[in-house]
Amino acid sequence: MSGSVTERIQELLRASGIAFTFKEHAPVKTSQEAAAVRGTPLHEGAKALVFAADETTVLAVVPANKRVGTRAFKRAFGIKNLRMVTPDELRELTGLPVGAVPPFGSVLSLPTYVDSGLLENERISFNAGSQTASIVMACRDYIAVEQPTLGEFAAE
């Protein structure tokens, strides 16, 4: 797959026969701003964060009204050291700015970990590789195509 992260996600979904809605909007940086501009409930957002986990880099996805509980994440997956990457590291690793990371580690060559609380949503919405592009799709379709590692690590 070539092209931008946004294009690669759309290609992946189309190739998998998955229905989705693509929206372009004003630039957003926070989950709250994204939910407002999309007109979707905050908890339906799939917040994707990149972490340095021991010797590897991972993508952690939680409902947008929660945060990654680092203690719970480390306990769930047997990780000793966990820290969020800096904005500079993020750009170097993914080519993306903060607020643009999609919940598709597969497109970014990162293992994806999803908090099982996200599965309570019938649909999810997320920034699709840009602060000005979002996708809304069925959560079950996301899980089917991404095949993430599931665990319980979201915190209030």
Residue 154 and residue 114 in contact, taking contact as beta carbons nearer than 8 Å: no
Tell me if residue 111 falls in helix, strand or coil: coil
Q: 30 lies in which domain range?
A: 5-155
pTM: 0.96
Q: How many CB atoms lie within 10 A of CB 80?
A: 8
The CATH number of the domain where 151 resides is what? 3.90.960.10
Residue 68 and residue 154 in contact, taking contact as beta carbons nearer than 8 Å: yes
The total number of structural domains that make up the chain:
1
Q: Say if residue 122 is exposed, middle or buried (CB neighbours under 10 Å; 0-12, 13-18, 19+).
A: exposed
156 residues of the chain, pLDDT tens digit each: 468 999 999 999 999 999 999 999 999 989 999 999 999 999 999 999 999 999 999 999 999 999 999 999 999 999 999 999 999 999 999 999 999 999 999 999 999 999 999 999 999 999 999 999 999 999 999 999 999 999 999 999
